[in-house]
Amino acid sequence: MRLRRSHRTPAVIALLSLVAGGLTACGHELAPVAPRVSGNQVVIPISGGSVEVDTTSLAVGALADGQRFELSAPAGDPLGAPGPIQLEGGEAHWSYPDRALAVTATAVDGRLRVTLRGNRDGRLTWPVTGGDGTAAALQLPRGEGLNLPVRDRFWNGPDTGLVGEPLSLTAGLTMPFWGYTLGGHGVSYSVPTDIGSSLTVTSENGALRARAAHDFDERAGTRDYTVNFALTDGSPVAAAKDYREQLIGTGEFVTLKDKIARNPETAKLLGAFHAYLWGDGRDPEAIRQMRDLGLTRMWLGYDADDHPMTGQAVDAAKAAGYLAGPYDSWDNAQDPATADNPGSRWPGTVWPDGCVHEADGTPEKGFGGRGCYVSSQALKQDPKLYRDRYAGMSANGANTYFLDVDAAGEFFDDHTAAHPMNQAQDRANRLERMRWLEDRGQVLGSEAAGAWAAPVLAFDHGAQNPISDGLWKFQRNRDVWGAYYPDNAPNMFFKPVDLPEPLVRAMFDPAYRIPLYETVLHDSLVNTDRWELAYYKLPQQQTMRALTAILNNTPLNFALDRATLTARGSEIARLQQFFAPLHEAAATQPMTDFRWLTDDHQVQRTVFGNGTLTVTANFGTTDYRGLPGGCADAQLETDKTPRRLCPAP
């Protein structure tokens, strides 16, 4: 075991020394401490205290600083009588014969690790969290991250798209963990066996509780279910720090520095704003206009339509020091005779033979109910299909590639006889083809990247946004949101809209948003907003989003044509020139601290590296120690005084 000093107070360290008996106060590992049995309880020392697992119910309790906490209520499903407890090599083993479940509990790196092996298909609801009387807030990696006071009336209500909706740990959350603040302490829950696992937030007696569930399924390859429990200091990002340590400890973390060393073009992301180009925004003249405005670094993408950037335009972008390349998708197929976009047309019999099929033979409907989802296994069997597609789309010299959907974590079971696969195979296929793109020297991005995809990506679009399901319903109202026309500047990207108040609160209220994703992955990949949520699309959120970009050291994302550059270019350049030196200095540094400076959470502070960059953002309307509302102060370690940005025009 080892002490994670970032989470431990001296009092906790002293307690652990007494409890564990095998650690010094400095946190050096001496010898593992074996579990012991007390009646039906398995007692296991972990960092910060000890835990008790009740073998009759799977309830989990903890003792820390002389206080007792409930880490999980009993399982939500009947277990039957447990078999005898056996201790072996630092592990405790028992079973639930009625459910064909075998359980192993042990301490690994100072955490409680419980693994259940299901020897027949079935579902288990466990752990059941948030029931402790001291539970104050729930932390969820929904997009960038949310901190939800458990008795907040809004989040216990129906307008958030959260309560009662199962969240897949691969697609519903960007990372497979959650956390609670319990009085002056906290607890982190992480699930490395994320496929087949979900989390459902419920409102019980006016308080938020989070119930995990796992499907044991032979075909899906999900017979094993592992949950790690860790005691933390209760800070809003403590669970993220704990998850980051696990990724590093298991070798699943790749730094942005390493990615730049492998492909120096990746360094062009440092300091760059991101933008999707439309109409005349794809012309060489638009690139020159950006350069003349003083935009020093840009990532430029364009839709996979019939009017890509020309080689001349891409060359102009490269000469300006920019990245430029297509937004592509390998996940949708439509009948080539009637397809509504070129990207959904595939050669040969991809439509309909390459579609994912459900167990009853029904094709899995594609984007927006159009066409079908293409099976990654079908493309794996004939990789020439996507490799030829890539060759055609990169023939203009593109030095970056955005592959939609692949990293978003929505995996499929394909029951097609010619190309069967389960979700684990689907993920492996997607990783394989993303690595293939990375090996082509492309600066690779994808949508709302889950942590599992971070090692192969340089950037993502969308993990910044804690999406509420109400957004998709709102977007379907084309009269309000805008449709996919005119071709040169589609209203769905360029028409400004005002979001309904519940969506604003659920997605953009600084009182709830916390940087869980950046705490884990800031120095691994560059994270931005979704492409249909361009900066000028939501005028009422512009100041909040600009301050968040500075606070989180993440770029803004735009939709641009020449008219927008003419009208807004000076403002974009002002924001980019403020952001660039901060990002160039800190993009390869971890986010090492986040905290609220006021009780209403309107003033927030982040630190990157060992003081490389410190940012204070005031999302409120009143001054905070000389920092006006709607402004941010950013100070590099080489600065004598902070740099100030007040983004409102």
- pLDDT at position 184 is 86
Q: What is the mean pLDDT of residues 13-23?
A: 34
Q: With bands split at pLDDT 50, 70 and 90, how would you rate the model's confidence at 649?
A: confident
Task: Say whether pLDDT at 374 is over 70.
Answer: yes
Please give the pLDDT value at position 11.
34
Q: With 90 as the cut, is the pLDDT of residue 15 above it?
A: no
- What confidence category does residue 570 fall into, taking pLDDT thresholds of 50, 70 and 90? very high
Q: What is the pLDDT of residue 32?
A: 57
Q: Could you tell me the two tokens for 254?
A: 């790749």
- Which helix (H) or strand (E) covers residue 149, if one does? strand 146-149
| Edge-to-edge order in the sheet of strand 323-329 | 526-528, 459-461, 443-447, 400-404, 323-329, 298-303, 273-277, 557-560
Angle at 520 between CA 167 and CA 641, to 5 degrees: 130
> Per-residue pLDDT for 352 more than 80?
yes
Band the pLDDT of 370: cuts 50, 70, 90: very high
Among 99, 13, 110, 112, smallest CA distance to 71 is for: 112
- pLDDT band per the 50, 70, 90 thresholds, residue 216: very high
pLDDT, residue 7, reads 39
For residue 407, the model assigns a pLDDT of 97
For the segment 562-583, the average pLDDT, to the nearest whole number, is: 98
State the pLDDT at residue 29: 40
Question: ∠247-323-560 over CA atoms, to 5°?
Answer: 110
What are the structural domain ranges in the chain?
5-249, 256-331+374-583
Q: Give the pLDDT mean for 609-618.
A: 98
* 240-261 pLDDT, tens digit each: 999 999 999 999 999 999 999 9
Rounded distance, CA 137 to CA 147, Å?
6
Backbone dihedral angles phi then psi of residue 352, each to the nearest 5 degrees: -105, 5
The average confidence (pLDDT) of the chain is: 94
SS (HEC) of 310-346: CHHHHHHHHHCCCEEEEEEECCEECCCCCCCCHHHCC
Residue 548 host element (H or E): helix 542-552
Residues 534 and 466 sit within 8 Å (Cβ to Cβ) = no
518 in Cβ contact with 449 (< 8 Å): no
pLDDT per residue as tens digits for the range 529-551: 999 999 999 999 999 999 999 99
Q: Is the pLDDT reported for residue 110 higher than 50? A: yes
Bin 422: left if φ > 0, else alpha if -120 < ψ < 50, else beta. beta
Residue whose tokens read 């991250």: 145
pLDDT at 491: 97
In this predicted structure, the answer to whether residue 514 has a pLDDT above a threshold of 70 is yes
At residue 2, the pLDDT reads 29
Q: What is the pLDDT of residue 176?
A: 98
Average pLDDT over residues 179-200: 96
The sign of the dihedral angle between the CA atoms of 468, 469, 473, 476 is positive
Q: Would you call 83 helix, strand, or coil by DSSP?
A: coil
What 79-84 contacts at long range (C-beta under 8 Å, 24+ apart), as own/partner pairs, is 81/56, 82/40, 82/55, 82/56
Is the domain spanning 5-249 CATH 3.40.50? The answer is: no
* Predicted confidence band of residue 13 (pLDDT cuts 50, 70, 90): very low
Backbone angles phi, psi at 219, to 5 degrees: -65, -35
Q: Is the pLDDT of residue 24 over 80?
A: no
First to last CA, the chain: 53
Q: And the tokens for 94?
A: 């028992």
Q: How far apart are CA 103 and CA 42, in angstroms?
A: 12
- Select the more confidently predicted residue: 28 or 35: 35
Section 223-232 average pLDDT: 98
**Mean pLDDT in residue range 121-149:** 98
Q: Which helix (H) or strand (E) holds 507?
A: helix 501-508
Residue 28 pLDDT more than 90? no
The pLDDT value recorded for residue 368 is: 85
For residue 175, the 8-state DSSP code is S
Which pTM does this prediction carry?
Answer: 0.95
| CATH code linked to domain 256-331+374-583 | 3.20.20.70
The separation between CA 365 and the C-alpha centre of its own chain, rounded to angstroms, equals 25
Model pLDDT for residues 399-430, shown as the tens digit of each residue: 999 999 999 999 999 999 999 999 999 999 99
Q: Is the pLDDT of residue 5 over 50?
A: no
3-state secondary structure 381-433: HCCHHHHHHHHHHCCCCCCEEEEECCCCCCCCCECCCCCCECHHHHHHHHHHH
- Model confidence at 10, in pLDDT bands (50, 70, 90)? very low
pLDDT of 458: 98
* pLDDT bracket for residue 20 (50, 70, 90): very low
As a whole number of angstroms, the distance between CA 470 and CA 452 comes to 26
Single-letter residue type at 93: H
